[in-house]
């Protein structure tokens, strides 16, 4: 039996009477099963802080429930943050109670950072879903990131449990992350793997670099089309290091076309940003089923390909 009392802006109060299903279970596991919107880690923090009572007394997370015990849970309202909701239009590809998948345009920063206090994906999501909160704060759960000038698919969790489920998949490399990249030069092999660790460049802290002491990073590429001086490749990444594809492609001598940091400093093919697009994203929804989402090339990148094809033809 579950009873709830959650007035807007007030602490959320839940009451659970342990039945046969909960008998013998750990307190934290029983609560996580009954309240799927709250992660087990967050529930453990509430238990440790005395916000969970069993029979009127604080217990440890490892407490084994007995039939008939009354569990009372108090969830404080999400704490406000400096993040402000901004009514910025979002291209929503998919949405449910757990998450939203958007098609991020180039030029949009994912979350506030020095020099980008607003106008970010996080600001827009908070306006689109005002009740979104993760880790006890009113903010969306950014699970993975795209560079400012990289377009394409991005998943954002709406609550703690969804964030935990998605983050675990990314950490275990169980997701599918596929990008389309135009590379400088003609890549000879039809496919290949770049297994090279990445770390902050000690000579320029604004850049990343392939370094022996870096974190493991693995990218797989497959050539889609070859042109006179460029190659269109599909790149699938196992890991998600900062600037991974841009660093790896530059490392093998074929930087992403239009990349001002790791490639040629002068504009290429009329591009105003790097030719890199997150075209496919697959993962298991927190509710269970596997889903894959796709995003077509945006007009600026599609126009470059059309021109290259015309020149080649």
Determine whether 98 is an active site residue: no
Q: What is the 3-state secondary structure (H, E, C) of 28-93?
A: HHHHHHHCCCCCHHHHHHHHHCCCEEECCEECCCCCECCCCCEEEEEECCCECCCCCCCCCCCCEE
85-109 pLDDT, tens digit per residue, is 899 999 999 999 999 999 999 999 9
Band (pLDDT 50/70/90 cuts) for residue 268 is confident
This model's pTM is above 0.75:
yes
Q: Are strands 151-157 and 276-284 parallel, antiparallel or unpaired?
A: parallel
Residue 179 has a CB neighbour count (10 Å cut-off) of: 25
Mean pLDDT of 167-191: 96
Average pLDDT of the chain, as a whole number: 89
Residue 82 scores a pLDDT above 70: no
**Could you give the 3-state DSSP secondary structure of residue 187?**
coil
41-66 pLDDT, tens digit per residue, is 888 888 988 899 999 999 999 999 99
pLDDT the model gives residue 83: 79
Residue 188 scores a pLDDT above 90: yes
**Could you give the 3-state DSSP secondary structure of residue 182?**
strand
Could you tell me what percent of the chain has a pLDDT over 70? 93
Question: Among the options 147, 149, 184, 259, which is catalytic?
Answer: 147
Nearest to 150 by CA among 248, 277, 302: 277
Domains of the chain as residue ranges with CATH = 2-75 (3.10.290.10), 79-172 (3.30.2350.10), 173-313 (3.30.2350.10)
């Amino acid at each position: 039996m579950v009873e709830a009392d959650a007035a807007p802006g007030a602490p959320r109060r839940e009451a659970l009477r342990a039945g046969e299903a909960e008998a013998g279970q750990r307190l934290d596991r029983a609560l996580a099963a009954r309240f799927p919107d709250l992660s087990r880690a967050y529930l453990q923090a509430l238990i440790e802080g005395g916000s969970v009572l069993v029979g009127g007394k604080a217990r440890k997370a490892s407490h084994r429930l007995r039939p008939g015990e009354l569990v009372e849970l108090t969830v404080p309202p999400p704490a406000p943050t400096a993040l402000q909701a901004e009514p910025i239009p979002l291209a929503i590809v998919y949405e449910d109670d757990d998450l939203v998948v958007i098609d991020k345009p180039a030029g949009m920063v994912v979350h506030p950072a020095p020099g980008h206090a607003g106008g970010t994906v996080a600001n827009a999501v908070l306006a689109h879903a005002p009740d979104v909160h993760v880790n006890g704060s009113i903010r969306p759960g950014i699970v993975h990131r795209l560079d400012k000038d990289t377009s394409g698919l991005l998943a954002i969790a709406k609550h703690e449990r969804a964030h935990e489920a998605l983050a675990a998949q990314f950490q275990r490399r169980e997701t599918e992350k596929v990008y389309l990249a135009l590379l400088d030069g003609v890549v000879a092999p039809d496919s290949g793997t770049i297994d090279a660790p990445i770390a902050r460049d000690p000579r320029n802290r604004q850049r990343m670099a392939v370094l022996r002491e870096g974190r493991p990073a693995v990218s797989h590429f497959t050539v889609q089309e070859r042109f006179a001086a460029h190659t269109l490749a599909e790149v699938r990444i196992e890991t998600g290091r900062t600037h991974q594809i841009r660093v790896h492609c530059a490392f093998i001598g074929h930087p992403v076309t239009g990349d001002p940091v790791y490639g040629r400093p002068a504009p290429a093919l009329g591009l105003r940003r790097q030719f890199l697009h997150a075209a496919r994203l697959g993962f298991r929804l927190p509710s269970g089923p596997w889903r894959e989402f796709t995003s077509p090339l945006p007009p600026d990148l599609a126009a470059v390909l059309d021109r290259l094809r015309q020149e080649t033809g």
